[in-house]
């Protein structure tokens, strides 16, 4: 996968929603070519507030066609099995991803442990 067809979002606790939403629009919704997206949530110590979860669901719902067209695959990386289970519940009950999605914990992907939470954050 070349860097031109891959997008990585690294989210941390108390991230800036407006910056994140702008990046989603510029890197996914208005993408010229479809991309593989990694949602790196290792910098989050817990789930975001329900208002952020609902904003995310609304964004994904309103941009459903562009997301279906412009995302090839999603990979979500979380810190723990508990966060993975919570995210799976959200996907089953609030918003189901439009594209193939894998949810991984650091334990499930050992090479991630060496990478840490990353330097760029949203």
User: Mean pLDDT, 10 residues at a time, over the chain (122 residues)?
Assistant: 76 92 96 95 85 89 94 93 90 87 86 49 42
Residue 5 belongs to what H/E stretch? Answer: none
Give me the pLDDT at residue 14, please. 86
Assessment of whether the complete model's pTM goes beyond 0.75? yes
The long-range contacts involving 112-118, CB below 8 angstroms and separated by at least 24 positions, are 112/42, 112/77, 116/42, 117/10, 117/12, 117/40, 117/42, 117/43, 118/8, 118/10, 118/40, 118/42, 118/43
CATH (domain of 45): 3.30.750
Give me the pLDDT at residue 66, please. 96
- Let me know if residue 121 belongs to a domain: no
- Let me know if residue 122 belongs to a domain: no
Give me the pLDDT at residue 90, please. 85
Number of domains comprising the chain: 1
- Let me know if residue 21 belongs to a domain: yes
Residue 85 domain boundaries: 3-115
Residue 47: DSSP 8-state? P
């Amino acid at each position: 996968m070349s860097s031109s067809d891959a997008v990585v979002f690294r989210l941390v606790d108390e991230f800036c929603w407006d910056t994140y939403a702008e990046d989603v629009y510029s890197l996914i919704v208005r993408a010229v070519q479809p991309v593989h997206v990694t949602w790196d949530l290792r910098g989050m110590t817990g789930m975001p507030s329900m208002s952020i979860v609902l904003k995310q669901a609304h964004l994904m719902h309103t941009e459903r066609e562009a997301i279906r067209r412009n995302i090839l695959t999603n990979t979500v990386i979380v810190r723990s099995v508990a966060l993975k289970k919570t995210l799976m519940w959200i996907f089953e009950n609030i918003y189901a991803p439009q594209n193939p999605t894998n949810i991984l914990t650091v334990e499930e992907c050992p090479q991630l442990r060496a990478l840490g939470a990353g330097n760029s954050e949203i």
